[in-house]
Every structure is written in C-alpha cells, then in structure tokens.
Structure 1
Amino acid sequence: MGHPHKALRTSMTGAVSAALLAGAAVGLAPAAPAAAAGTPAAPGIRFVDIHGDGGTVLKANVVTPAGAGGSRTYPVVVLPTSWATPQVEYLAQARKLAGAGFVVVTYNVRGFWQSGGNIEVAGPPDIADARKVVDWALANTPADPSRVGMAGMSYAAGISLLAAAHDDRIRAVAALSGWADLTDSIYSGRTQHRQAAGLLLGTGYLTGRPGPELRQFAKDFLGANLEKEDEMLAWGEKRSPSAHVDRINRNGTAVMLANAWGDTVFPPNQYAEFYERLTVPKRLEFRPGDHATAEAPGLLGLPNDVWDGARRWLDHHLKGTDNGVDREPPVRIMSRSGGAYETYPDWKSVGADARKIALGGTETIRANVDSGANGGIAMLSGTLDQFAKLPPTASIPLLPRWFAAVWRSERHGSPQRIRGTAKLHTTVTSTKESGTLVAYLYDVGPLGLGKLVSHAPYTFHGRTPGKPFPVDLELFSTAYDVPAGHRLALVVDTVDPLYIEHNPSGARLTFSSPATDPSYVSVPLREQ
C-alpha cells in the first residue's frame, strides 16, 4: 500500500507547475499591495474587501466597463479563484469581459492567500461566500440583479456549480476543468487517486490554511482508513454538484461544462454523466490536455478558445446576444490526435458505435509489482499528450506476464476512431479478500509500442479468497484516432504510481472468461 507522505512528494512537480502558472498571472496584473482596499488600481479596476460568511474577509477585485456610471446596469460575472491561486488570477479575462460589457467581481476563496478563514473544499461556507459576493456586487456595482453569472477554472468551477444549485439568482455558469462528482473524481473505482489528492493537498498547505475537516479527510483518505469510508463518501457528496442537479434544473441555470480528456485531477467521465442529467440549456466541451492546461493560456491574455467559448455562453445567456450558441450542437469535442472540432447532439451519440473485443482464456498475475504499464504522471502526461502528442507508452511484448495480463485485438486494416467510454467486463478470482487492479487500453503499432488510449483503477474489499466475482469498469472517456495497421491491447496489472493500491503481499489475481459470462472490453470504435 502506498505511503501518504510519498504521495505528497510525488505531487510536488504538479505543485511547482501550479505555482509558476499563478506567478505568471500575477506578473501580468497590477500588484495588489500597491492599491489600498477600496481604491482604484487602474481605470475600471478596484481592489476591495468583501465580507463573506460569518464576516470572513475575502480579498477581491472589481472590473467595470469603461464609462460605467449613472443609472445604467450591466450583467455581472462572479469569478472565484482556482485552488491555491491569488486574487489576480483572472484579471486578463476580467478585462476582456468588462470590455464586452460585463461587471466582473473576482475574489480569493476563503482559506487561501490573504483571504480569511480556512480551506473548506467547496463546503457550505464557500457556497455562502459566493452568495455574499453576489449580494455585494448587486449593492456596490452597476450590476443587474436579473443577469448574474458565475465562471472559473477547477475549484472555481465546482464552487460555481454548487452556488448555482443554492442561489436562483445565478442564471448562467461556465465551469471549466471542474468536477461534478468529487468522490468519483479522486476515488473512482473505490481507489484513492494518490497523485491528484497529493497535488491538491500539497498546494493547499503551501498557499493556504486547511481546516480541521480537510485535515481529517486527508489523513483518512491517504491513509486508506476503510473504517471512515462512509464518512469520506458523505464528505464528498456534500461537495458534489451532481448531488444537487435537481436544484440546478429547477433553477433553470444555463450550464457550460468544459474539460480535458487527460485531466488527472477531475477525469472527464463524471462531467459527461452530470451533463446528461441536466435538463437546462447546456453545453459540453472536451479537448486534449491535462487539468486546466487547455484554458491556462487565457489567464495570460493569450488567444484561447475555451475562454472565448465561455464568453459566448455568457453573452447569450446574460446579455441576450444572438450569437448562435443556442442553435449549435451542444456537445463539442476534439480528438487527442488532432483535427477539427466534432459536434454531436448529445453525449450518448459520441460513443454510439461500440465493438466488443473478447478477452478469452485464463490469465493469472502476481500483485505488488508495477509491470511498466501505467497512466503517467499527474499534470505532466496529459500536457505532453496535448502539445507533443506523447501519451504514456509501453512495449507491449516486453511487459512481464507474471505481473501483467495482456489481450490483443486483430490488426485494423483501416484507420479507426475511438470516441467515448470503453468498458471492461471480466471475472476475477483473488487469493486475498482485498486488491487493486488497473486496466489500460493501448494503441499498438507494428513494432509493439503501445500508446495509452485510456485506463482506470478498480479496488475491491471483502471478497472471499478463491471465489470468482464479476468486475465492470468504465475506463476514462477519450477521443483518439488509431492508425491503419495498428491493433488494440488491453493490459491489466496491480500497481500504478497514480493510485494507492490495496494488494496484500503475495496476492494473485486470476482473470477468466466463463462460457456463461464471457469477458470483453467494449470500445466505442468506428472507421474514419
């Protein structure tokens, strides 16, 4: 089983990346200390203190359209900061929004940097803070109370969705690289996402003040305390917009969701499932990249289609601009292999064509050893895939069969497109009552080099040793193009640095395919 302190050390590369990004954003913005609270730092920009829930001071800035004054009102967009970033994070985008006729209020969420309070991880105090910021904006800026929106990246996306469920004044949300189901994001397949959790905790401790509830959760989560699993699940559900989707639907909030295929913090599946449950005006966008890497250049004021799409969404739903966003197909995706955007009427249509690859025979593997197949490194692998088309790779013929089970398809004579969610069904027999397996889908070239298409972990507890049981596992959704002459390979092993594994020493896993319940991997595959 992985050690929690090792998890934090593993995550420091991602922490440094986040810090550099925040620093770059600060470098382009006016320095906050140069302006006293409540006084203009530049034309149209004010740095202010807003009193949140319980009087907690939230450091904020306000950007208003040029010439704002008199009795005219404007739509308002509230931007909470991302996890571990300072209040100037969104100034470049705030200026663009103000230039388009919005009042913009961005604020540092509680527990981080100079704002007061403790980190509550989108808990009730954070939602109450968001409502207080809306109150303040309506009372202190030329904001129109009938045209309120929220937006932001990562932590801000989650808070925005939760706030929309609890405040019917919020008419539109653009949630970028966020989560809908916090538990499914960092605990999918009942497996702790070690590097993702370590990244969040590491940067949280570096830039903020974790509250007692977060400290206890981190201890139980990284320590794999199964006695506290119900409490951890309840903690995550309270912070999951998916648990409040009925309230969002009832409020009628227009919701835009955007994420990256390779997001190692908030994988795409949970966003897609949430999108399908929304009955309000909605939009779903997936692109290549890792956590927040697709929209990060926009923080520096660089051209960015994610932020451009968010502004179009807010323009239409808050200003009434007839820009056609309501008439476009609502699901928009880009393949990791490149090419133009593809559009679909709904998420189900993305992976409508599925082919089953039989997983015949019986394979037995030893646990506790990394076979060499793995999902990569949080915040790095998805970025390399985005900019250099370099996903994690493995030599499939050289994988040690003592520690990895391997099945391969026939070669494909023509190019194939994978769009959507691959699903594994198999029968497992373990020599121990607990265990972890990780399934990987590879695109394998003529020389046997496999490029990772998708993967997902799965952990079980309380199984009777020697007794077979079925396993159904959804791999992380993706869009990938398989060249002609290649084949697909499914690999299963028991150790991946991304996750905490629960394999007792000496455990063995056997994968079988009973005649009455054949094993297979279903891949959303079609010819190009």
Structure 2
Amino acid sequence: MTPASSSRPGSSRPDSSGFSGSSGAPAPASLYPELDATTLGAFVTALESGDLTGLAPARAAEVAEARSVTVFTRGKVTGADGDRLDAALWRHTGAGPRPVIVMPSPWTDLGWLTYAVQATLFAARGYDVLAYSTRGFAASEGQVDVAGPLDVADGSRALDHLIERASGPVTKIGFLGDSYGSGISQLVAAHDTRVDAVVALSSWGDLGEAFYENSTRHVAAVRALLGAAAKARLSPQTQSVFDNVLGNRDILGTLQWAEIRSPFSHIKELNRRQLPVYFAHAWHETLFPANQTLKMFNELTGPKRLALSIGDHSGPEMTGMLGLPNRIWTDAHRWFDHHLRGIDNGIADEGQVLSEVMWNKTLEPRPTWHSLTERVHRLHLAGGGELTEEPEAGWTAGVLCGVDTPATVADAVVTSGYAEIAGRPKVYPTADIDRTVAAVWASAPAEDTTRLRGTPRLRVTYRAANPSSTFVAYLLDLAPDGTAHLVTHAPYTDLDSAPDSLISADIDLQATAYDVPPGHRLMLVIDARDPFYGDANLPRATLSFTSPETTPSYVDLPLG
C-alpha cells in the first residue's frame, strides 16, 4: 500500500488535546505497514495463472498445492442496498460436503488481498473460502459503516454467495477477521444463526470503551483510523462520529452509535448458541485496548480461547499474513479444524488462555482468565514518593496540567509494537520526568522475580479546581540504572464533580503478564497529559493527589 496522508475533515486538525496528525505522534498511513500490495498481488496472479515465476519457494509451493485442489476466481458479491463488494473465492471442484470460511477484510485499502496467503492455506486444508473487501474500502462500493447494520448484512450476503457456489453440501460455517473484519465477524455470527465458529484477531468487544476508556477520548486511535482510511469512502455518519470524538462533542451520541457495533451488546445470542470464539490480542494494543475485549471474553459461555501477545494492533499475527510460521494463525487453523471439521487436535484441552510474558516471551497456558491471578498484593501511595506496605495519610502531590512528560503510552500507534515484538521496547528515562509536573512513586527493589499476571487496579483520591479533569497512570518496570519499560497504563477522566471537590478514582489498568526482574522496582507515574488521549483539564491547572484515612490511595498488583 502506498502511504498517503489523510485530507479528511478532522483527521489533521488539532483538538482540545493539542494532538494532531501533523504534530506529536502522527497517525500512520496504514495499520499494516509490513504488508506489501505488490508481493501479495504477485501471489494472487500466480493463483490465477499457475505461473510461479518470481515467487519465494514456500509461496510457490502453497500456490501449487491450492491450485491442485481448488479453483481461484475474483468477483463481486452483491451486498446490502445492492452495493457490489470486491471478493475472491477459493472453491473446491469435488462434490463432497465440506466446511466454508468467510473473511471480511481489515481496515485497509488492501481489502481482501490482506488474506490472500492465509485464505489459500485454508483452502488447501479442505475449506471453501470467500474473502471480501468491506464496503467503502478498496474496490468495494458503498460507504464505510464501521461494523453497522449494512456491514452485518454484507457478511450474510457474502455467505449466501459462497454457499450458492459451493460444489457440494456445506457442513459447517466459520467467520474469520483481523481487526475491522474481526468485529464484523462477531456481529455477523450474533445475527446469522448459520455461523458455527469465529476467529477474531485484534478485535474489539465494546467499541464504546475503545473510544472512551474511563471517559477519556482515544484521540490518537481515531486519528490513526482516519489516516488509514484516507482513500476509503466514509459515510457521513461515520465521519461525524469520528469528528465528534476528536472535537469532544456529543459523547452520548457516539456511545449509542458504538453500542450496536459492539459484539458485547449481542453476547446473549452468542451464548444462547454456545458459539466457539477464538480471540488473539496484544498486551499493549493502542486501538482496541485489551480490557474491553477481556470483558467480552469473560462473559462468553461457549467454547473460547484467548491468545495474548507482546506488541500492538495486528502485529503478533502479521508474520502469518506474510506466509511465515505464526502460532496465532496456526491456532486459528486448529480452531476451525476442531469446530468446523470435527478434528480432535487437542486445542479444546489446552486451556482458555495462552499468554506471552513480557519480555521473556514465555508462553503460559491457563484454564481460565481468572486463574492467571493467584493473589493480589496491595502497595500504598506514600507522601515521600514510595509505594509502601502500609497506608499513609496527610500528604499531597501536585500534577501540573497541560504539560507532557517522558511518560507516554508509546511513540506511535501500531508501529511501536513492532519494536516490542523485535525485543526493543521503548526505554523511559525516568530521571527526565519532572517531579513538579508529574507525581511519582516507587516500590522497594524486588528480592525475587515479581510475576504480574492479570489486571492491576488503581485507587487514587485527588482534588481538581476545575469541573472536569484528566490524568494518565503508568506502571513502569524501573531498572537500577534509572531506565524503565512500560508494564501497563490507563487514562481517567472525571466530567461530573464540582470544582475543588475530592474525587475518588477506581480504575483498572490494562491487563498484563509481566516479569519484573530481581533488583528492579515498580514505579507508578501519574501525569495530566498524553498525546494519545483527549484532555479535559484547563492548561496550567493543578491536580492535587492525596490519600485520606477513609479512602487510602493504593495500587493492587495481581500476582501469578
């Protein structure tokens, strides 16, 4: 995909947060920077022609195997309102019964081409496969509906198209999507009872929480989505919603818009049918933070599996899209083989959760999400900047609003996650964090490895002179040399308290699996400015943090 800057309204103008596409961390032109349209196009051309010239040996073998058992064609699916959706079909010629897979495309102008390699691998394993470009993207007609009713109807129409062209009876039906396509896949499954299993990679459960985490606007995420959709055709409603998030307008309207686009809103139907769902997610996801997907995962009562990995949005599964060995895609194949083909491959007995530990990359299976946490250790915020075993009252720590610090979520949406996957996570110079701007607390050095497993929880009390306030809390792994790595974080915004009143904030930090080495300390940093988030503070105002005897401030650490 050729990089392109966004010229859409609202995609580059600054908002009240001061963050824009032309300053700070710019929105990327693609959420899939590792994918190359020319290479994928050559792969598809070989599928059509059989000419393997120029393909890597592994890709050539995949094309040859698929062509020996399937016929590949490009075409159009008639979607909702008669809009024609660009699609590709891998169809077996034998008349025997077989399962089928529908793959709605991610949020990219590559459209269905993103899935070219993986769809081919599924086809070679015995599936009929239809991949299509979602409305408004690539060569598909219509306007981007953001997993709305038109997208749900499109998914069912795509399934109709595939079934009509199958050469034999269809036995079972799966929907698979990455990112945007994963949300659509879940929603189609909730509305179309023909769907038997879902694979949802880098997905969302509650879109409202992804846009407004703890009432805090995810402005960098929205700018990234706009940047990646620079060539797409957004519906007026979609454009309006994105503009409203950036401009801090009509929060209630946005949440109502997001509710019907959230699989969590339809979980009763998924549970009624005990639909099997496989999720894969990144710990440091900046578009759809993990906790809102975890909420969805934990409420599902049917067969389910969750893989949590180092990195950011779509990064952990990217090598599989390129055709390289990838455990997430391997398990996606195993998930469908078990639930659509009835193969006893052991995946049902391996536990519901597989987490990759930062930064040693150990893979830890667990029977359930809640089993990750064996006990909770509480550390209290004290007046001398320590995290202590006992509460301490009577202190205050000021945080100056409107000033950024070296404590930030990441350097850039999506792309910073690739550095994490490569073993080069962002280094935070903690000595450069101005203590007159931010509040900082640190624990005693750990005697042994501290195994954080689960969802840390923060309770803090603070006073704001203004009617609205925002802060961001970061939990860091502090090395003896003063450098640190990010363990987890969360923003918080209060929009309702009276000026100069005490505000008690109880928030979940994003879930984590992190090993803090011996001799390292945990550091909690709270500041009032991060370019990833909208900011409800007035410039140069002060937030005064404290710890009353009746409601002490603390952080609960989940230990495994």
Residues 352 and 367, structure 2, Cα contact 8 Å, conserved in 1: yes
> Shift of the alpha carbon at 1:291?
0.4
Aligned equivalents of 2:38, 2:554: Cα separation in 1: 47
Counterpart among 43, 46, 50 of residue 73 in structure 2: 46
Q: What's the CA shift for 1:86?
A: 2.1
Change (3 A) 1:4 1:458: closer
Residue 186 (structure 1) aligns with: 211
Please tell me whether residue 203 in structure 1 is matched to residue 228 in structure 2: yes
The one-letter code matched in structure 1 to 2:151 is D
**Structure 2 residue 556 is matched with structure 1 residue 522:** yes
Tell me how far apart the structure 2 counterparts of residues 255 and 195 of structure 1 sit (CA, whole Å).
29
| 1:392 to partner: Cα distance | 4.5
Listed as ranges, the matches of 1:108-257 within 5 Å are 108-142=133-167, 144-204=169-229, 206-225=230-249, 228-257=250-279
Structure 2 residue 85 is the aligned partner of structure 1 residue 58? yes
Q: Which amino acid aligns with 2:242?
A: A
Deviation at 1:144, TM superposition (A): 4.1
Question: 1:302-334: CA deviations, max 9, x gaps?
Answer: 111111000000000000001011111111111
1:412/1:487 contact within 8 Å kept: yes
Q: Where does the alignment leave 5 or more consecutive residues of structure 1 unmatched?
A: 36-40
Residue in 1 that maps onto 2:3: none
The answer to whether the 8 Å contact 1:381/1:392 transfers is: no
2:28 counterpart (14, 18, 36):
14
1:453 maps to which residue?
A: 487
Indicate the residue corresponding to 2:501 in structure 1.
Answer: 467
For each residue in 1:353-386, what CA deviation from the matched residue of structure 2 results, as whole angstroms up to 9, or x when unmatched?
Answer: 2211101232112111012211112112222112
2:415 maps to: 380
TM-score norm. by structure 2 comes to 0.88
Instruction: Please say which of residues 186-195 and 302-311 is displaced more in the overlay.
Output: 186-195
Contact 1:237 1:243 in 2 (8 A): yes
Q: Secondary structure of 1:7's match?
A: coil
Q: Percent of counterpart pairs with the same letter? A: 36
Shift of 1:474: 1.0
Q: Does residue 304 of structure 2 align to residue 278 of structure 1?
A: no
* Partner Cα distance (1:339, 1:371) in 2: 29
Query: What residue is the counterpart of 2:358 in the other structure?
Result: 336
Rounded to whole Å, the distance in 2 between the matches of 1:323 and 1:112 is: 37
1:81: Cα distance to partner?
0.5
Q: What is the rounded CA distance, in whole Å, between the counterparts of 2:400 and 2:364 in structure 1? A: 42
Mapped partners of 1:307, 1:25: distance in 2: 20
- Mapped to 2, the partners of 1:498 and 1:143 lie a distance apart of 50
Structure 1 residue 26: Cα displacement: 2.7
Tell me whether 26-35 or 409-418 shows the greater mean CA deviation. 26-35
CA–CA distance in 2 between the matches of 1:107 and 1:4?
37
Change over 3 Å in CA distance of 1:21–1:218 after alignment to 2: same
User: Who is 1:358 aligned against?
Assistant: 380
In the TM superposition, residue 462 of structure 1 has moved relative to its aligned partner by 2.8
Matches within 5 A, 1:314-325: 314-325=336-347
Could you tell me how far apart the structure 1 residues matched to 2:128 and 2:461 are?
56
Counterparts in 2 of 1:307 and 1:143: CA distance versus 1, 3 Å: farther
Question: How far apart are 1:389 and its partner, in Å?
Answer: 3.5
Which amino acid letter does the alignment assign opposite residue 82 of structure 1?
P
- Please tell me whether residue 30 in structure 1 is matched to residue 52 in structure 2: no
Partners in 2 of 1:2 and 1:240 — Cα distance?
26
Quote the residue 1:496 is aligned against.
530
CA deviation profile, 1:454-482 (whole Å, cap 9, x unmatched)? 11111111321211021011111111111
Give the Å deviation of 1:266.
1.0
Q: 1:371 to 1:88 in 2, by over 3 A?
A: closer
The residue type paired with residue 83 of structure 2 is T
Q: Tell me the CA shift for residue 48 of structure 1.
A: 1.2
> Match of 1:180, SS?
coil
> Secondary structure of 2:372's match?
coil
Please tell me whether the aligned partners of residues 25 and 88 of structure 1 are also in contact (alpha carbons under 8 angstroms).
Answer: no
What residue in structure 2 maps to residue 414 of structure 1? 448
Letter in 1 for 2:143: N
SS at match of 2:266: helix
1:183 partner letter: G
Question: Residue type matched to 1:212 in 2?
Answer: P
- Alignment length (residue pairs): 514
Amino acid at match of 1:499: Y
CA deviations on 1:381-423 (whole Å, 9 max, x unpaired) are 222112124234131x442112100111111111111111111
Cα separation, partners in 2 of 1:89 and 1:16, compared to 1, 3 Å: closer
- Cα deviation for residue 143 of structure 1 reads 6.0
Whole-angstrom CA distance in 2 between matches of 1:490 and 1:6: 24
Task: For 2:273 and 2:366, locate their aligned partners in 1 and report how far apart those are by CA, in whole Å.
Answer: 26
Structure 2: stretches of 5+ with no match in the other structure: 1-13, 50-65, 384-395
Give the root-mean-square deviation of aligned CA atoms: 2.0
- CA separation of 1:5/1:155 partners in 2, compared to 1, >3 Å: closer, same or farther? farther
Deviations 1:154-200 (A, max 9, x none): 00110000111001110000100111111111221111112111110
